[in-house]
Amino acid sequence: MTAYGLLVSPSHNRVYAQAAADLVKAELAVFSERALGGRVRDIEETSIGGVPYVTFSADELTEQDVRLLSNLSSLYALFQIEGELLRPVGLQPLDLFGSDLLTIQKYSGKTNEYFTKLLLNVTAMATDSPMDLITGRPRVFDPMCGRGTTLNQAMMYGLDAAGMDIDGKDFDAYTAFIKTWLKNNRVKHQAEVTNVRREKAVLGRRLHVTLGASKERYKSGETMEITVVNADSLGAGRFFRPASFDLIVTDAPYGVQHGSRPKGAQPGRKGGPQLSRSPVELLTAAVPEWARLLRPGGAVGISWNTFVGRREQLAEILASSGLDVRDSDAYRGFRHRVDQAISRDLIVASKPSG
């Protein structure tokens, strides 16, 4: 067995920084359980030279193992521990673009980008082919994408992604951001906003972006696509085909920032149904619709505020849509405090492939 030490990235968010070591320990345990055959053991926090590290032991890591671990959400550096010495392990992250793609946006209610990456990672580990995260191209859907943190993380990984959000201001803000970012970074792309019509009625607006990680890739047709629809995710099936996504990843309403209307409600109609602030109510209505968009063998990951919904409630919602909840100890290690009103956790479930 070989000993390793993982240095956790410093976070600008003080509260998240306090939880980061425990979160990456849980994330590493999921990676081990789902993709590394349980070969990563003895995961703990250890002080080395007065600096906190997450340490673990494993049979010597293969190149593919390192490629996977290089994408741990809060990984800053990885070392092989040899007595009192630390030997750096060369990292091979999937990242195709600069970190400003994830960090430059600042707004109230934004999900911490480290946590967004963690949620995407542990959801990918729950599929029937977890190593596809680094060897394939799973397609990602965020049905409540807000201003696009999940979409940007998928883009960073080189993945095709789609999102929906009912908030027109968020749609406009993300459209402006991604167009400006692509232009300023000289990324070859095409981007257009169109109305989605059915029988002469406008159902919503759609942003569609085609881009290449380099000019050469773009010219050769090796592109990725980002699609965002400004409409209620309860009607996701009107915009996307069944079984068209490998991963569904979303940050559910905390009872403060986001919401969704019941089916049939007309936005803006005086006296009509108001936005639902309960994640349990929203997910009860939405998960069956989202599950139809998930391919067999794919997985869904949802984060939520435990103060306004119990884990057992969300597990029941997912199970009632035919999804298998991942409930091992590794997947139960992600609960952490965001602020006085929010205690965040995540839950992941897979769609049977049989």
Domains and CATH numbers, the chain: 2-89 (3.30.70), 99-255+275-351 (3.40.50.150)
Distances (CA, A) of 291 to 151, 176, 344: 19, 30, 23
> Would you say residue 227 has pLDDT above 70?
yes
Q: How many angstroms separate the CA atoms of 7 and 15, rounded?
A: 18
Mean pLDDT, to the nearest integer, of 66-88? 95
- At residue 255, the pLDDT reads 62
DSSP string, 155-188: HHTT--EEEEES-HHHHHHHHHHHHHHHHHTT--
Q: Is the Cβ–Cβ distance between 191 and 176 less than 8 Å? A: no
Helix (H, G, I), strand (E, B) or coil at 210: strand
pLDDT in tens, 255-296: 644 444 444 443 333 333 444 557 899 999 999 999 999 999
Q: Is the Cβ–Cβ distance between 349 and 332 less than 8 Å? A: no
Mean pLDDT, to the nearest integer, of 129-133? 97
Q: Is the Cβ–Cβ distance between 209 and 175 less than 8 Å? A: no
> Would you say residue 297 has pLDDT above 60?
yes
